[in-house]
Structure formats: C-alpha cells, structure tokens
Amino acid sequence: MKLCLENNNPEAHYVEGINQLFFHHKLIKALNHLRHSTYGKYDEGTYLCGLLLLYTGKIKEGKKILDTFDWEHTIYIQPLLEKDKKKTLGVYGIPLKDIYLNNMARLKPPRSCDLQNMDHLCKNCYYFLRVGKFFD
C-alpha cells in the first residue's frame, strides 16, 4: 500500500482516505488522500471528497469537485457510485458536530424548490440532497 501511495495511485489514496476517516477519525488526513484520488479521476474518491468538503463547510471547493461529474447532464451517476454502499456514513459513528449541521442549513434550497421532482433539480437542491442522503 505504501508503494501505491508513493506513486499516487488514486484508488490507494481513496482506500487510505476511508481508513483515516473511519478508523482513525482524522478528517484532514482523509481529505488530503481523497483529494489525491480526485486528481487521479477516481470517481468514488471524487464523490466522497466533494461530499465531505460540502459537509465541513468548504462549499465552493466541494461544489467544484462534484461538478466535475457534469451532473446536470449525467444526473444518474450518483446512484451508480452508491450502488455498493449498504450503509450511509451515519452508521460509522461520524459525530454530527454543530458545524456540520450549520453547513447543511447553508446548503438548503429555497422553499420554492420541489425536492421530490428529480427531473428538475436546481443546483441548490442537488447538493443538499446528495449530502443529506449520504450522511443520514
């Protein structure tokens, strides 16, 4: 694994990011590894990195990373990335700190948005639903 990380293997950085996040509870180290997986265009790492950045308040950077999926034209990529996940991050004991809840509130779309209509999502709805679903 060490050799893979040294050679910037994006999948190895994704695995190490997961390891740092869930087993060592080191968010900064996890994000650093997930960013490396993003640079290597590893979809699962890119998706998780974008969501964690939104969740931790780095909204502009998180949106920029998630926008690399060109979600407006390929809205169904996220279910493909989530197909193998049996659990959401909430079951892994990531504490819901006040800052996370505040950032969720910052992402919340206006009341005029119809969150049930997946065919006509605005950008605000998209980000809010992605983070909300992943951290249930």
Please choose, from the candidates 135, 59, 66, the residue with its C-alpha nearest in 3D space to the C-alpha of residue 96. Answer: 135
pLDDT for the residue 135: 60
Lowest mean pLDDT among 1-10, 47-56, 58-67, 85-94: 85-94
Residue 135 and residue 89 in contact, taking contact as beta carbons nearer than 8 Å: yes
pLDDT for the residue 84: 44
Query: Whole domain around residue 120: which residue ranges?
Result: 2-134
pLDDT above 90 for 54: no
Q: How far is CA 13 from CA 38, 71, 130, in A?
A: 9, 24, 22
The DSSP secondary-structure symbol of 111 reads T
Q: How high does pLDDT run on average in the chain?
A: 78
pLDDT for the residue 134: 64
Predicted model pTM: 0.69
80: helix, strand or coil: helix
Domain count, the chain: 1
Average pLDDT for residues 17-38, to the nearest whole number? Answer: 92
